[in-house]
Amino acid sequence: MTATTDGSTGATLKPLAAAASETTDITIPAAAAGVPEAAARATRRATDFLLSLQDAQGWWKGDLETNVTMDAEDLLLRQFLGIQDEETTRAAALFIRGEQREDGTWATFYGGPGELSATIEAYVALRLAGDAPDAPHMAKASEWIRSRGGIAASRVFTRIWLALFGWWKWDDLPELPPELIYFPTWVPLNIYDFGCWARQTIVPLTVVSAKRPVRPAPFPLDELHTDPARPGPPRPLAPATSWDGVFQRLDKALHAYRKVAPRRLRRAAMNTAARWIIERQENDGCWGGIQPPAVYSVIALYLLGYDLEHPVMRAGLESLDRFAVWREDGARMIEACQSPVWDTCLATIALADAGVPEDHPQLVKAADWMLGEQIVRPGDWSVKRPGLPPGGWAFEFHNDNYPDIDDTAEVVLALRRVRHHDPERVEKAIGRGVRWNLGMQSKNGAWGAFDVDNTSAFPNRLPFCDFGEVIDPPSADVTAHVVEMLAVEGLAHDPRTRRGIEWLLAAQEPDGSWFGRWGVNYVYGTGSVVPALTAAGLPASHPAIRRAVTWLESVQNGDGGWGEDLRSYRYVREWSGRGASTASQTAWALMALLAAGERESRAVERGVEWLAATQREDGSWDEPYFTGTGFPWDFSINYHLYRQVFPLTALGRYVHGEPFAEKSRAARTTAGQTSTETSTAEAKGS
């Protein structure tokens, strides 16, 4: 893969790049010198820069940066399978060393505190790469690890990796029986009670837990224990009257069951799990388009006798290589997943809202690519919705089993902004997407990301599940994107849309903000909800909108931007809406304020000034801070394209107003045979 200017991967679009010159002719509304002029200039430069990043096939994709556990576990996997090579090990170690902080630790997000499990995994990976334990950077890390309780205090997943090499005892890990695969959907803790990302990881790990493999450790890790002679379990039993106590005792019972489990039943369960895994392997060899399930699936199948040359294994290992981003300095970073559909629909929206003509060749190319990515076969979501026809979009290049509601809503919004040469094809695709999203509404009126009513309280209680969010309940940001899309499709007054709006109004925080599940955090939630509510017809004078505006104004930074640290997920009062200004978060706040009719406000002017002043000469923005999440707090993401698409969207809406919103409102009030009514009719027929 080649690296683009902002660190994204893929070939830049040369043949169509010349068409970018059209953007310099975008008509900017006449305005006095000052903020509007600076905004127009920044919009032109950002438009040209974003157009230059498009791949020849029509998609955009920025790097998806997480933390060094991805890189460490990749090296541990290669050590376990015996496929490590010198170049990969050297490049991975170079990246991991570069991420170490001055205090010897590794964090899980930029500027965050040292994190124990990440530091342990990074340390072990560097030892595999040949770094000596008495080297200054290693000694500093091991001292910090011991001061925080050592390996015994780390998360379960870290100790599973160490158990693979005998650095931790399997008996001191939570039990995860493969017989779980047989639980019907009405039984608590069946695999469909877990969010799709956890489900894809847990099924292969039931095989690993049953097999308990141990490879000879290449060195001891005594320096990471507070007492090497007695590492022991990490914590005592909780009271039997507490939920934690109940599930800890359940785990003890499962350990006892392991000793008496019928061999034929266990063998059959593991084989069933293997079939489940193989059936969900994607065409490119990955699982769910994300790295962790692929890693554990490869290990599970290997333990069940699939050799490395088996087609399933070979494809799986090849898919893992595609998560690697090679940097100019020779370092190798592993992405947890890749986000081309998400990046492409957001880029399309940004360019259209910035004034790029709706029939611009690059927008049409993007629409073509998105149309080809629609998923038209059932996936795991159909377990809860067996009669619902498919029609969603996934986040990644290859992930037909797990389309998501958020991407589907945003792709529809993007397609509506493009004048395509085959409008009938677009209408059919949009109709399928709208119908699928409506069918994925949860019973409380809101929407989760991947599944319907994935809200069981039990999975999060399992001792095994200490690695982050394992369920997929409805969230304000996803619900807002669906509501906005439905409003654009003429369904603002549909009872299903109104239920979503009612849920959003009830979910508003007392201070006027909304919680952001998939972006950081209250700024993201508020930046998503306010445009949705106004698109659905709520006036800017509505009390909920006014409270949101007041909150956004109250958390604006002194420099004019907005920012929010990931610590707001853990320490709400201190960090809600607080943090260093970033391009993406400033844009989210501006998008909300503009939707609320605040274009002439000083808060908006200062936000626009900040974006214009911090833009680089090439039209891009720098953003080291992490503003996305996989699991709030536990797994943070820096989407490298966020710093480009969202500022451009906000600036475009400031410069041009919101022509698309106005156009969609006009379409909703126009009687007759509009294309919007076509998809509306299809949706109502669902």
Tell me which residues are annotated as active site. 406
Q: How many CA atoms lie within 13 A of 398 on its CB side?
A: 16
Beta bridge partners of 519: 628
Cα 605 from Cα 556, distance rounded (Å): 12
- The residue count of the chain comes to 686
Q: CA angle, corner 280, sides to 278 and 285, nearest 5?
A: 75
**CB neighbour class for 625 (10 Å; exposed up to 12, middle 13-18, buried from 19):** buried
Q: For the stretch 132-148, what's the b/e string if a residue is b when 16 or more beta carbons lie within 10 angstroms of its beta carbon? A: ebeeeebebbbebbbeb
Q: Considering only CA atoms, which of 288, 299, 660, 649 is closest in space to residue 450?
A: 288
Cα 516 from Cα 503, distance rounded (Å): 15
Q: For the stretch 79-110, what's the b/e string if a residue is b when 16 or more beta carbons lie within 10 angstroms of its beta carbon? A: bbeeebeeebbebbbbbbbebbbeebbbbbbb
Strands (E), 575-659: 628-631, 635-639
Cα 544 from Cα 248, distance rounded (Å): 43
Cα 60 from Cα 154, distance rounded (Å): 37
Cβ proximity of 401 and 297 under 8 Å: no
- The H or E element spanning position 96 is helix 86-98
Q: How far apart are the first and last CA of the chain?
A: 42
64-65 and 324-326 strand pairing: unpaired
Longest CA–CA span in the chain (Å) reads 81
**Token reading at 365:** 């190319």
Tokens 């096939």, located at residue: 57
Cα 593 from Cα 581, distance rounded (Å): 17
Phi and psi dihedrals of 630, rounded to 5?
-100, -55
Contacts of 658 (CB under 8 A, 6+ apart): 353, 594, 595
Q: What is the DSSP letter of 222?
A: G
Cα 267 from Cα 207, distance rounded (Å): 10
Q: Considering only CA atoms, which of 88, 108, 684, 669 is closest in space to residue 434?
A: 684
Beta bridge partners of 326: 332
